[in-house]
Structure 1
Amino acid sequence: MRLRSIAVIAYGLLSVGFSASSYANLKDDIIHRGTLKCGVSSDKMGFSYINDQGKWSGMDVDYCRAVAAAVLGDPEKVEYITTTSKNRFTSLASGEIDILSRSTTWTVSRDAKLGADFTTVWFYDGQGFMTRKSLGIKSAAELNGATFCLSPGTTSEHNLADYFSARGLTYRSVVFEKTEELYAAYQKGRCDALTNDITGLAARRTLFKDPNKHVILPEVISKEPLGPYVKQGDDEWRDIVTMVGNALIEAEELNVTQQNAAKLAKSSPKSVVKRLLGTEGSLGTDLGLKQDWALKAIQATGNYGEIFARHVGVNSPLKFERGANALYTNGGLMYSPPFR
C-alpha cells in the first residue's frame, strides 16, 4: 500500500511537471486577458505621448497598436503603462508589461544581462546635446565644465562619460529619475545642458514655453538603434513582436498602405504581397497567429512610412527627415527580412 501511494505521488508530480511545461505562453495569456500591456513613456512627443484629453499617440504607441491588431484583432485593446528610464526593464522582467515600446536603445549588455530580448529597429537615432542659446555655445567642446541634467541608468549617461573622458573634458551632473523632472530642472536653469537622443531633444523642445531659446548642437556622439524589447525566454512572442514591425516596413516597400491593404489582399498579382497579407502561404499560422495578422496591423496604423510621416515626419510638427530611417531603396537602413 505504501509503495502504491508513493507511485501515485510520483505520477502526480510528473503530471504537474508536464502541466507547467505546457503552460500557456505570453501570446495565449494576452489573448485570454484580451489586452496588450504596453510600457511607454508619456511625454516624448512623436513617440509615446499622452495629451490633455488622455489620447495616446506616437511611433512607439503605434507599434503596440499594430501588435494588438495582429494578435487580438483590435488596435484599441492596449493598456498603456508609463515607465521610467530606471524601472522600464524591471517592469518587463516582472510581467507588469508585455512589451517595452519606449524608444529604448539596443545594446549588447541589455540583451545579455537584463533578461530582455530586442526585437526590431524602429528608429535609427544618435545622441546629441541641447543648451540655451543665451549661453552662446556652438559646439560640444565648449561644454567643458558644464552641468548636465541626466537620467540614471541610460545609455545617454554612459555615452556622455565616454565622450568627455576621451577628450579630456569635465562636467558636473544633476540626476533625476523622472524625465519630466529632468526637463523642468533644465528649464529652471539648474543645469547648462541636456544630452539625449537627438529626436528626444527635438521632441521635448516643442513642449518648452519658448522653443526658439534652445539650440541642438551639431555633434552626434553615438549610434542609437531604438526599438521594442520583450521578456527573454518566449521565442514565439519575440518572433511575433519582431515580425509585426518588419511587416510594416515591408508594407512600405511593397506600397501596401492603410487604405489599399484590404483591396490588395484580394487582388494583388504579386505573391510577396499575398504572402504578407495572408492570402497565400502560411506565414500567419507559422507565427501562431491568424493568416490576416499583418493585414490587421497595416489597417490599424498604416505602413512604416505612413507612421513616420504622421508622428515625426512631414505631417507632424517635428518635420524630421527620413535619413537613416528611409528604406534601403532610398538610401536608408530600413528593410525587412523576406516574407516567404
Structure 2
Amino acid sequence: AAALDRISGDLPGAGGARADVVIVAIDEDADAKRALYRTLEPRMRPEALLATNTSSIPLEELAGALEHPERFVGLHFFNPVARMQLVEVVSMASTPPAVSERALAFVGAIRRLPLPVRSTPGFLVNRILMPYLMEAVALEGEGVPAHEIDRAALAFGMPMGPVLLADTVGLDVCLSVARILGASFGCAVPRRLEELVAAGRLGRKTGRGFHDYRAGRPRIPKGPLPAPGGPVEQRLVLRLLNEAVACHRERVTLDADLLDAGMIFGTGFAPFTGGPMNLNRNEGAEVQRARLEGLEHRLGGRFAPDPGWRSLPD
C-alpha cells in the first residue's frame, strides 16, 4: 500500500521534466523506442539519466536518435519484476564512468541487485540463456516430448524446464531475442519456433504454445526425473555453458564471479553448481570442450567450442 501511494498517473508525461531517471519500458521495437526518446529527451533535465528496459537490443542501435547519448543507459529488469531482484545495468564503450556509477547506485537505492554489463546483443543473461532455450526447441522439433526435455533440465538442477520457461516468457519474445542474437552471432532460429509464433501459439498468454493452457494448468505427464548427465541434459546445458564462456572471453561483465551471479539470480541456474563458470572449473575445461566437440561432430556447428575454452584453467 505504501508503494502504491507513491505512484501517480502521468499520461501527458509532465513528470519527466522533474525526474532524475526516466525509464522507458515499451515493446521491443527499436523504431518505437527511438521515436519515444525523441519526444522525451527535450523535456528532461540536463543531468537526468534516460534508461531503456530493453532485454536484447544493443544500446548503440538506440542511441543514434539522442542529442545526448552520454546519459543513456540500459536498466534491464527481469520478469516477474516484483520477484526478480537482478537488474542488468548496461553501458556502452562511450558511456562516462560517472553515468554508469549513477545507474548502479540507482538500482541499489531501489533495493535491487545491480549487474554491470557491456552493451552487446542480449547483454549477459538473455544471451547465455537463449541457446539453451533454442536447443530445447530443436529437441522438441526432433520429436523429444516437451515433458522429457523439461525433466532433463530439472534433473540437472534448473528450477523450471526450458519448454515451460519459453511458454511462460512468450514464444514471440523468445523469437524476437533469438532473431537479434542470430543476426549478430550467426545462430539459426529453429523453424519450429517460427511456426508456432506464426500460428499464434505464443505460450501461456494466448492459451497455447508448446503446451495447452486453455483449461488452466497444462496437462503434463508425471514421472520420475531421469538420471543426471543424460544426452538431452548434455545438449541443453553445454549450449548454455559454451555461450557463458564466449561472454566471459568478450568481457560482457567484469569477471566470472559476476557472470555466475547473474545467471543464478537472473535465471535460477542450478545454484548448487555455483554458476556456469564455476561448473566449468569443477568439471574441467578440457573435459567440457571435448564434450562439445563430440556434439559438434554429431549435430553441427552450433556446438563448436568457443575459443575461450582454451584460456580457461583445466
- After TM superposition, the score normalised by the length of structure 2 is 0.32
Normalized per residue, the structure richer in helix is 2
- After TM superposition, the score normalised by the length of structure 1 is 0.30
Higher Cα Rg: structure 1 or 2? 1
More relative contact order, 1 or 2 (CA 8 Å, 6+ apart): 1
Normalized per residue, the structure richer in strand is 1
